[in-house]
Amino acid sequence: MAKVHPVSADCVNTAVEYWNSVPPTQSYMDTGKWIYVNPVGNRLNMESISFEVTGSPDEFVDLYNSYLLWDFKVRKADGLFIVPDTVTYGPINMIASTMWQTEDFYLIGERVTGVSQLANFANYAEALLGYGPSSKEQLELQGFHLDTAGSHDTTVTTPTNAAMTNSGLRNRYNRLKGDQTWKLCSRFPSELAKQPLLIPNRMDIKLILHRANAASYMMSEEEALGLKLIITSAQLKIRKMKMDPEFLVAHEMLLAKRNALIFFEEKNVLELTINAGVMSFARDDLFRGIIPKKVILALVDSAAIAGHYKKNPLKVESANLSQVGFIVNSENLPSRPLQFTPGNGFERDGYLSLLETTGLMFQNSSLLFDPDLL
């Protein structure tokens, strides 16, 4: 048989591999199960809510496949529901994540990772850039209903008003109106949970979530009502894997000789304030130490970040930006500064930078945003 190249090696079609096709047997893990953990003291609507999981001698923890389950209702500032039918309200997107001011994760008493509310807004950006319409149902389980582009701040006094153009807010309103309970699920809020390695046995886990002020995650035309979300039920659904006894012995012996290493990507959010009317802005020493491999820049109204019932903190604005760039060691990275034409509509450079950064360039993958509105 002629070969494709003189130095081409022989290979065997797997359809005739009778002797080397026996699959390997996974022998380290005996069984896996999910357990449900209630908040400490069942305190659901205090300033913070915490979960604790005691490490067991023969079980590892799989954070990658662990979740938080939430039941939400809407209440006024006085704790009552009596909200007129003429009032439209609703939380911002991915509310199970974006309603927290900070989220702290501890292993055996040591703080490992911490996530701020702004970092959770980065999760929203990742949903827009990493998922397509086919993932709509899974994202809705996390409270995601895509806002109508350009209408993030839209609120009206009559829910049935056809002028309400933000379909995302309308969908979230429909989930909560009439004293309904909205049942949601969110990923475990730690960057450590985005890598597949298990947490070893005998390691106690603690998660503390601190609430943000209601105006930073709720939208409503009637600010005086002071609408907020209350939690009627919360559980941590955590995955535990029972390990083989022989593996545990070998594992303990290895740990006695050297530490276990778990690598994960850290996410930091830097907040900079640019005063109104400033035509040019530069910041020296933006990053200290390691330069991040990915940077997502978003311009947001400062009033929305501080908390305002009529402003959505997830609304990214162009602010008539004409150029943006990063200089590292006197070199423009990742390339020349991005150039924009205010009011031009579709911006090629901005669109390409998103696709290149996320690795979606020329991939068979759709996105959840309209490129004409970049």
pTM score of the predicted model: 0.85
pLDDT tens, residue by residue, 299-312: 889 898 889 999 99
Q: Is residue 17 part of a domain?
A: no
Please give the tally of structural domains in the chain: 1
Q: Is the per-residue pLDDT at 316 higher than 90? A: no
Of the candidates 57, 17, 111, 103, which has an alpha carbon nearest to the alpha carbon of residue 243?
A: 57
Q: Is residue 20 part of a domain?
A: no
Least confident of 30-39, 59-68, 263-272, 302-311: 263-272
Give the three-class secondary structure for 268.
coil
Cβ neighbours around 309 below 10 Å, total: 20
Q: Which residue has the higher pLDDT, 332 or 198?
A: 198
Q: Residues with Cβ < 8 Å from 150, sequence gap 6 or more?
A: 373
Q: Residues with Cβ < 8 Å from 249, sequence gap 6 or more?
A: none
Averaged pLDDT of the chain: 85
Q: Is residue 123 part of a domain?
A: yes
Tell me what pLDDT residue 157 has.
46
Q: Is residue 177 part of a domain?
A: yes
Structural domain for 93, as ranges: 28-259
Q: Is residue 203 part of a domain?
A: yes
For the residues 347-371, what does the mean pLDDT come to?
A: 75
Angstrom distance (rounded) from CA 196 to CA 201: 16
Q: Is residue 14 part of a domain?
A: no
Q: Is residue 337 part of a domain?
A: no
pLDDT tens, residue by residue, 240-294: 999 999 999 999 999 999 988 888 887 778 888 888 888 899 888 888 778 888 8
Angle 222-79-159 from CA coordinates, rounded to 5°: 35
For the residues 333-341, what does the mean pLDDT come to?
A: 83
Q: Is the per-residue pLDDT at 81 higher than 50? A: yes
CATH of the domain at 185: 2.70.9.10
Confidence of residue 163 (pLDDT cuts 50, 70, 90): low
Q: Is residue 148 part of a domain?
A: yes
Tell me what pLDDT residue 156 has.
65
Q: Is the per-residue pLDDT at 78 higher than 70? A: yes
